[in-house]
Amino acid sequence: MPDASSLAAVQRWMQSVILHPTGEDPGHTITASSRLSARERLLVHQRGYRLRLLECMRSLHPGSVHLLGQEIFDGFALEYLEAHPSRSPALAGLSAGFAGHLARTRPDAEPGAEREGWIDLLIDLIRFERAFTEVLDGPGPEDGTGPAPPLRLLLVYAPVHTYLAAVRRGEDPEPPAPRQVRLALVRRNFTVVTRELSPAAYERLRTSSSLQAQEGSR
């Protein structure tokens, strides 16, 4: 039980029960109101925190929300957030491990299960959306924070870049058909530009010593 006279202790306790609800009675620290019990008041904060994170995940992955529908996307996002609580003060980094989490927990990974193409599509769409955010927000010459424009390379299962572009335009595109695509994302004047590359051009960039660390992974 925290010492109520210590603000730091109360803050640590509050953070702990919001991030990891235990079902404990919070009456030792939170007082009831005329309309809500202490537990109900804490629940408001717990739900509000998760809703804010879900809103952020949706904003970072609009194409994935469109592909799955909000209810299914929220389910995947909540499972990810439960397994990987946010550790960064910047919300833009919230989904950094989302694609990797889905790849490790995909339901068709069980022995003997038939691989499902829609999962490959979803993971690659999330990878592309994540790369887009990293390029958009990364350091670069426009504001003097980097010597060269941010760049990411991706080898994806389908043309997810055209799908996301259509969603951003307010269209209702069909899921793209499988087609291996090599992509380069680079920022110019604070705008992310995506280009399809030939196998040769992709390999030249991929093997460049200055770019190897920036290649997207599955």
Residue with tokens 């990987």: 84
**Total residue count of the chain as it appears in this document:** 218
Which of the pair, 26 or 4, is modelled with greater confidence?
26
For the segment 130-155, the average pLDDT, to the nearest whole number, is 92
Those residues with Cβ within 8 angstroms of residue 40's Cβ, 6 or more apart along the chain or in another chain = none
Checking if the pLDDT of 1 tops 60, the result is no
Q: Would you say 108 and 122 are in contact if contact means Cβ atoms under 8 Å apart? A: no
Which of the pair, 204 or 5, is modelled with greater confidence?
204
The one-letter amino acid at 43: L
Q: Which helix (H) or strand (E) holds 14?
A: helix 7-19
Checking if the pLDDT of 101 tops 50, the result is yes
pLDDT class of 213 with cuts at 50, 70, 90: very low
Q: What percent of the chain has pLDDT over 70?
A: 78
3-state helix, strand, coil in the chain (%, to 5): 55, 10, 40
Among 34-43, 44-53, 140-149, which range has the highest average pLDDT? Answer: 140-149
Q: Give the per-residue pLDDT at 25.
A: 66
- Rg of the chain in Å (alpha carbons): 21
CA distance 98 to 84: 9
Checking if the pLDDT of 43 tops 60, the result is yes
pLDDT class of 130 with cuts at 50, 70, 90: very high
Which residue blocks in 138-190 are alpha helix, DSSP H? 160-168
